[in-house]
Amino acid sequence: DILINNAGLAKGLNSSDDTKMEHWNEMVDTNCKGLMYVTRAVLPTMSKKNKGHIINIGSVAGTYPYFGGNIYGASKAFVHHFSLNLRADLADKNIRVTSLEPGAAETEFSIVRFDGDKDKAKKTYDGFEPIEAENIAEIVEFVINSPKNINLNRIEVMANNQTFAGFKFIKN
């Protein structure tokens, strides 16, 4: 009755003009296609039962761009919009859809991003207290247990000492 799509990875942190195409392909294959295929596999059963809940784990990177976030951010914007479109398609089937969009969370995410370089990954979180995996699990539990007559469309969560980026001005 519940699908939690938690597929997601980022590869590298380079500018779009200095990144590897295989990194872009891996992010699209995982973050978009993986989510699509798993969702499609469970939809017939949920539709037949006339109930279910799909929770797609996105990212604030789908809303707020940052340097080096290029395809990762675009793929997470896909997660957000795919969730909204699923909700529109499935509302008459009593299937709830939520896009959960965390900010900086200290998980294996940065280790994957930096190809296993644990020191580089650890530096990502130096100087602030990031979201923990347990925090996201608690939010997922809250979403699942929310009243059945409501749909939580989107939940965006950041660490208390993280905010969205400001404008960047390039001066000559």
* Residues taking part in catalysis: 72
User: If we measure between CA atoms, which residue out of 41, 31, 42 comes closest to residue 6?
Assistant: 31
| Cα–Cα distance measured from residue 2 to residue 118, given in angstroms and rounded to the nearest whole number | 33
| Cα–Cα distance measured from residue 155 to residue 57, given in angstroms and rounded to the nearest whole number | 10
Token pair in block for residue 166: 């400001």
CB-side exposure of 139: number of CA atoms within 13 Å?
A: 21
| Cα–Cα distance measured from residue 150 to residue 146, given in angstroms and rounded to the nearest whole number | 7
Token pair in block for residue 74: 């675009």
Neighbours of 24 (CB within 10 A): 18
